[in-house]
Amino acid sequence: MKKVFSYLSGYKKESILSPLFKLLEACFELAVPLVVASIVDRGIGQGDRGYVLGMFFVLIALGAVGLAASITAQYFAAKAAVGYSCRLRRSLFEKMQFLSFAEIDSLGAATMIARMTVDVNQVQTGINMTLRLLLRSPFIVFGAMIMAFTVDWQAGIVFAVVIPVLAGVVALIMGVTIPMYKKTQARQDGLLLSVRENLTGVRVLRAFCKEGEEIARFDAKNAALKKSQNIVGAVSSLMNPLTYAVVNAGIIVLLYVGAVRVDAGSLTQGEVLALYNYMSQILVELIKLANLIITVTKSLACARRIERVFALDNPLERIGDGAVYTENAVDFENVSFSYNGGGNALEDISFSVKKGETVGIIGGTGAGKSSLVNLIGHFYDATAGRVLVNGVDVKAQDPAALREKIGMVLQKAVLFKGTVRENLLWGNEDATDEELLRAVALAQATDVVEAKGGLDGEIEQNGRNLSGGQRQRLSIARALVRRPEILVLDDSASALDYATDAALRHAIASLPDKPTTFIVSQRTSSLQHADKIVVLDEGKAVGIGTHEELLEYCEVYREIYGSQFKEATHA
């Protein structure tokens, strides 16, 4: 967990001063019983009102100085914790942005967001609390014991027995309940799943008339949760009564020992009072300490999870070989690829694409179509063979510069909160409005932009005020804005109807500086005019050629085509 806590290093001063000032406060607090003892023994014993008044001011002064020390400590603790979490969050965000696609796939967006928010906040709370309490509470507990020893060693022994017993009780209860809480938490997650399913699957569940059954399932889970809550509750609610009992047992013994010592003349009445006060202080601080331990345990778990994100380290491979091997726009040379060391998603793919050509990629679900086009922009490393763009191995090119040349339209069209213009400018920051509108027209999205009120129209988060088809057309426009050398349309016309899909293809094909275009699709109609079609089946290229060639010799292509056109062509 080195990395996670290294961000604290900028706050060394605060991290040291805060606990120190807390200690100071604790010292003043520990002095109080002694002052009270002297009030009893000297002030009352000798009837000295002046002395009592003096001690009164000492008490007030102790409180005031303690307050000042405490405020200083709180400030430093807050500053360190907040500053720390600010830096941690920033570098975590930076780290996540530069994760490779493979890592993003394995982490998942929901997890990443949870790490950035819930976990970082918990670590911040943990640090804040630790700085404030970790030294203070044990200090008061042990300080009280030491003070007791200085007052009277025999009374001190009572403390030396009570404290470990208390600590043992607290540790035992926590040791028993923490795993039990985990189990209740799991039961609660089960309940959550149940509720979620009843909402997400409401149509299916109602269609199958499963309402009664779902209620019964839920009730069973609910009862199980209640049972484990009751059990863990019974154990954890022993904490207060038990510690109370232990401390008071200590007080009984203390009073007796005190009585014997006073009788023998080696202790005063006021000192007995002081010992009694120390014992009471221990109880309060020990409970605080127990709570702190729970907070710290939680924070450490969060820190560990964050650390695992920092530890992710399989960046994209880079090589130095910048030689230009071919004049083609894109070459695949015996390329194989697998996700995270699993089975091959692509196997031994070879083909070349000249500048300005259109390539179709077709195949069933899971055939490896997306994986193939993602290799062009070096979003993944090819596990064998090499991918060349403009004749140079992608592994030898700067990723940002490489991707600058490519207009990617991903399967899942994503837009961002902001105006239509802001979204389109992602493609090219320097584009003029005229250029933006031209790209929009090319992408058959003029009606979408107009419906939103022009380029200044607002798009909501994730583009949720647009339909799937509208999002796709805008994201195509965004890709066209950068006038890419290579345009990749990853199944990006799936939500478009046939007419729009066709119009889009014609528009792109008629561009003067026509980009090299990759079209991934399940529809043969979208691809049949391509210069070259790559037919994928379970990761293997089972056919590469034109529509006509493939119809002739590629069995899989014929089947796909037949399934979509057989009946149609007879009509």
Partner 1 sequence: MPEKNDKKGWKGKKVKKGTMSAILRYILRYWYYLAATVLLAAVTVVLTLYVPVLVGDAVDCIVGKGAVDFAALAKILRNIAVCVGGTFLSQWLMSLSNNRITYNVVRDIRAQAIRKIQVLPLSYIDNRPYGEVVNNVVSDVEQFADGLLLGFTQLFTGVATILGTLVMMFLLHWQLALVVLCVTPLSVFMAKFISGHTYSMFRAQSEVRGEQTAFIDEMLGALPTVQAYSHEDENLEKFDEINGRLSKASLSAIFYSSLTNPGTRFINAVVYALLALFGAFTVISTGGAFSVGTLTKFLAYSNQYTKPFNEITEVITEFQNALACASRVFELLSEAEEKSDAGNVELGHAEGNISLQDVSFSYTPDKKLIEGLNLNVVKGKRVAIVGPTGCGKTTLINLLMRFYDVCGGAICVEGRDVRALTRHSLRKNYGMVLQETWLKSGTIRENLCMGMPEAGEEEMIAAAKAAKAHGFISRLPQGYDTCIGEDGGSLSQGQKQLLCIARIMLLLPPMLILDEATSSIDTRTELKIQDAFAALMQGRTSFIVAHRLSTIKNADVILVMKSGSIVEQGTHEELLKAKGFYAELYNSQFR
Map the footprint of partner 1 across residues 365-394, applying CB under 8 A: 365-367, 377, 379
Packing angle of the helix pair 136-151, 153-200 (nearest 10 deg): 160
- The count of residues in the chain is 571
Binders in 179-198 for partner 1, by CB under 8 A = 188, 191-198
Binders in 398-427 for partner 1, by CB under 8 A = 399-400, 403-404, 406, 408, 410, 412, 414, 416-417, 426-427
Residue 116 sits in the site that holds partner 1 (CB under 8 A):
yes
In this structure, are residues 294 and 80 in contact, taking their beta carbons and an 8 Å threshold?
Answer: no
Residue 242 sits in the site that holds partner 1 (CB under 8 A):
yes
Query: Is 98 or 153 the residue whose CB approaches partner 1 more closely?
Result: 98
Dihedral sign of CA atoms 180, 184, 185, 186 in order: positive
Residue 312 sits in the site that holds partner 1 (CB under 8 A):
no
d(CA 569, CA 129): 74
Taking CB under 8 A as the binding criterion, the range among 140-148, 205-213, 351-359, 437-445 that sits at the site for partner 1 is: 205-213
Binders in 334-363 for partner 1, by CB under 8 A = 363
Query: Is 108 or 454 the residue whose CB approaches partner 1 more closely?
Result: 108
> Could you tell me the smallest distance in angstroms from the CB atom of residue 3 to partner 1?
18
Residue from 6, 222, 328, 336 binding partner 1 (CB under 8 A):
222
Taking CB under 8 A as the binding criterion, the range among 9-17, 209-217, 333-341, 346-354 that sits at the site for partner 1 is: 209-217
Residue from 19, 156, 270, 545 binding partner 1 (CB under 8 A):
270
E runs forming strands in 187-268: none
DSSP 8: G
d(CA 116, CA 399): 25
d(CA 375, CA 351): 13
Binders in 315-334 for partner 1, by CB under 8 A = none
Q: What string of H, E and C letters represents the secondary structure of 164-196?
A: HHHHHHHHHHHHHHHHHHHHHHHHHHHHHHHHH
Residue from 20, 34, 225, 441 binding partner 1 (CB under 8 A):
225
Q: CB count, 10 Å around CB of 489?
A: 26
Residue 244 sits in the site that holds partner 1 (CB under 8 A):
yes
DSSP 528: T
Taking CB under 8 A as the binding criterion, the range among 84-92, 134-142, 148-156, 343-351 that sits at the site for partner 1 is: 84-92
Query: Is 327 or 460 the residue whose CB approaches partner 1 more closely?
Result: 460
3-state secondary structure of 408: strand
> Could you tell me the smallest distance in angstroms from the CB atom of residue 545 to partner 1?
19
Taking CB under 8 A as the binding criterion, the range among 70-78, 353-361, 386-394, 510-518 that sits at the site for partner 1 is: 70-78
Residue from 324, 468, 509, 553 binding partner 1 (CB under 8 A):
468
Residue from 176, 252, 294, 451 binding partner 1 (CB under 8 A):
252
Residue from 255, 384, 396, 441 binding partner 1 (CB under 8 A):
255
Residue from 171, 204, 323, 324 binding partner 1 (CB under 8 A):
204
d(CA 327, CA 445): 34
Tokens of 407: 């207009």
Dihedral, 210, 211, 214, 215 alpha carbons, nearest 10: -150
> Could you tell me the smallest distance in angstroms from the CB atom of residue 327 to partner 1?
25
Which residue reads 């009102």 in tokens? 49
Residue 565 sits in the site that holds partner 1 (CB under 8 A):
yes
Q: Which of 242, 228, 226, 126 is nearest to 173 (CA)?
A: 242
Q: What string of H, E and C letters represents the secondary structure of 314-380?
A: CCCCCCCCCCCCCCCCEEEEEEEEECCCCCEEEEEEEEEECCCCEEEEECCCCCCHHHHHHHHCCCC
**What mask of x and - would describe binding to partner 1 in positions 7 to 46, judged by CB under 8 A?**
------------------x------x--xx--xx--xx--
Strands 358-362 and 384-389: unpaired
Residue 211 sits in the site that holds partner 1 (CB under 8 A):
yes
259 φ/ψ angles, rounded to the nearest 5 degrees: -60, -45
d(CA 349, CA 60): 83
> Could you tell me the smallest distance in angstroms from the CB atom of residue 417 to partner 1?
6
Binders in 472-491 for partner 1, by CB under 8 A = 475, 478
In this structure, are residues 334 and 349 in contact, taking their beta carbons and an 8 Å threshold?
Answer: yes
Query: Is 452 or 478 the residue whose CB approaches partner 1 more closely?
Result: 478
Binders in 491-520 for partner 1, by CB under 8 A = 495, 497-499, 502
In this structure, are residues 428 and 471 in contact, taking their beta carbons and an 8 Å threshold?
Answer: no
DSSP 48: -
Residue 564 sits in the site that holds partner 1 (CB under 8 A):
yes
Residue 458 sits in the site that holds partner 1 (CB under 8 A):
no
Total residues contacting partner 1 (rule CB under 8 A)? Answer: 159
Query: Is 268 or 390 the residue whose CB approaches partner 1 more closely?
Result: 268
Q: Which of 111, 172, 494, 119 is nearest to 312 (CA)?
A: 111
Binders in 149-178 for partner 1, by CB under 8 A = none
Residue from 1, 71, 160, 301 binding partner 1 (CB under 8 A):
71
Task: Name the burial class of residue 133, with classes exposed (0-12), middle (13-18) and buried (19+) by CB atoms within 10 angstroms of its CB.
Answer: buried
Residue from 344, 352, 383, 522 binding partner 1 (CB under 8 A):
522
Residue 101 sits in the site that holds partner 1 (CB under 8 A):
yes
d(CA 503, CA 445): 11
DSSP 222: H
Residue 74 sits in the site that holds partner 1 (CB under 8 A):
yes
Residue 445 sits in the site that holds partner 1 (CB under 8 A):
no
Taking CB under 8 A as the binding criterion, the range among 154-162, 170-178, 337-345, 552-560 that sits at the site for partner 1 is: 552-560
Residue 290 sits in the site that holds partner 1 (CB under 8 A):
no
Taking CB under 8 A as the binding criterion, the range among 7-15, 150-158, 243-251, 334-342 that sits at the site for partner 1 is: 243-251
Each as own residue / partner, the long-range contacts of residues 170-178 (CB below 8 Å, 24 or more positions apart, any chain) are 170/239, 170/243, 170/286, 170/289, 170/290, 173/235, 173/236, 173/238, 173/239, 173/242, 174/290, 174/293, 174/294, 176/235, 177/232, 177/235, 177/236, 178/294, 178/297
